[in-house]
Amino acid sequence: MTVAVLGAGAFGTALAVTLAQNGPVTLWARDAAHVAEMQASRRNDRRLPMAELPENVSVTAEIEAATQAPVLLLAMPMQQMGGFLTAHAARLAGKTLVACSKGIDLTTGRGPTGLIAAACPDATAAILTGPSFAADIARGLPTALTLACTEDCEALQARLSTPTLRLYRSTDPLGAELGGALKNVIAIAAGVVIGAGLGDSARAALMTRGFAEMSRLALRLGARAETLAGLSGFGDLVLTCTSAQSRNFRFGQALGAGEEFDPTTTVEGVATAKAVSVLAQKRGVEMPIATMVAALSEHRITVSDAAQALLSRPLKEE
């Protein structure tokens, strides 16, 4: 079962590096100049400079060549995935498409597997998600992720697992993708707490109440509670709310401290917070933390006002 990774960001590159232990991998990037650099240096100096590309990782800018593999890992920013799927739907038909992005599409309100199903109904849609940093995967540090698909995916699980990358199967792709998307919003809020100097106790409280928000919306949309309590939900929440390796956490930290953040860095939680606020309102789900993150990200409210608004909410049972 040959594999191609579409998207040569840090995470896509890390997946190509580790999956090369199981056989040849194609790594696709849309930028031909970037591909030429990687082919010459055997590294992705733009996104993951610490990792050397194994010999059996071929790098290409030709989408026709990359999509010959039956299994395609879509490792591109969430807000670009819908356009990519629509543009290349014909050549993706019948493939196994594994989303490796976390978020909710602003235009449609769909998650990754929803976008795949809409654009490529003949493809098999799956999602690979959970607590993971690209650098850890590329270094071969132990990592466990969720592979979720509505169909049997034992063969896919075996192909995408390595001695240091352990995958657990799930038949709840909706829950898996919602956990991965929603935790980014809470990670921004956790960063704000630390950046504003509100302390670790406040962060722990925010993570706990944030998980309650995640669960409320996910269950309303049809996800399973055990999925949210697993790697793709609670596990990923813990990682991204407690480590500066998380871009969402770092963005929130800068926001809380009143500092500028690199505008070229993709922060999926910003778009997700906006999409979630709209979705929660439509579904009648109370999500005060996500709503505050959306307002903070758009500079419609100050950090102190956001904290006061959350702390002054009516007292209630847990």
Instruction: Tell me the mean pLDDT in the region 66-78.
Output: 97
Predicted confidence (pLDDT) at residue 21 exceeds the cutoff of 80: yes
Catalytic residue among 95, 183, 274, 316: 183
Lowest mean pLDDT: which of 184-188, 225-229, 278-282? 278-282
- How far apart CA 270 and CA 246 sit, in angstroms, is 13
| Res 142 pLDDT > 80 | yes
**Would you list which residues are annotated within the binding site?**
7-12, 30, 102, 130, 132, 134, 183, 236, 246-248, 268
Give the DSSP per-residue string, 201-218. HHHHHHHHHHHHHHHHHH
Is residue 274 annotated as part of the catalytic site, yes or no? no
pLDDT of residue 288: 96
Q: Provide the pLDDT for residue 218.
A: 97
| Percent of the chain scoring above 90 in pLDDT | 97
CB 228 within 8 A of CB 218: yes
H-helix or E-strand spanning residue 236: helix 236-242
Structure token digits, residue 142: 């132990």
Percentage with pLDDT > 70 across the chain: 100
Which of the four pLDDT bands, split at 50, 70 and 90, describes residue 11?
A: very high
Q: What is the largest CA-CA distance in the chain?
A: 61
Higher-confidence residue of 264 and 17: namely 17
Which structural domains are found in the chain, ordered by start? 3-171 (3.40.50.720), 181-311 (1.10.1040.10)
Binding-site annotation: residue ranges for substrate: 102, 247-248
Q: Does position 1 have pLDDT exceeding 80, yes or no? A: no
Whole-number mean pLDDT of the chain? 96
Average pLDDT over residues 264-285: 94
Mean pLDDT of 40-48: 97
Known binding residues for sn-glycerol 3-phosphate: 102, 130, 132, 183, 236, 246-248
Over residues 172-198, the mean pLDDT reads: 98
| pLDDT band (50, 70, 90) for residue 151 | confident
Mean pLDDT, residues 20-28 taken together:
97
CA 135, 137, 142, 143 torsion-angle sign: positive
Q: In which residue are the tokens 């075996």 written?
A: 158
Per residue in 194-213, pLDDT (tens digit) is 999 999 999 999 999 999 99
Are 306 and 295 within 8 A, CB to CB?
A: yes
| pLDDT digits 0-9 by tens, 73-102 | 999 999 999 999 999 999 999 999 999 999
Cβ 130 vs Cβ 180: under 8 Å? yes
Exposure string over 216-241, b if 16+ CB within 10 A, otherwise e: bbbbeeebbeebbebbbbbbbbebbb
Residue 152 has pLDDT above 90, yes or no: no
pLDDT of 292: 97
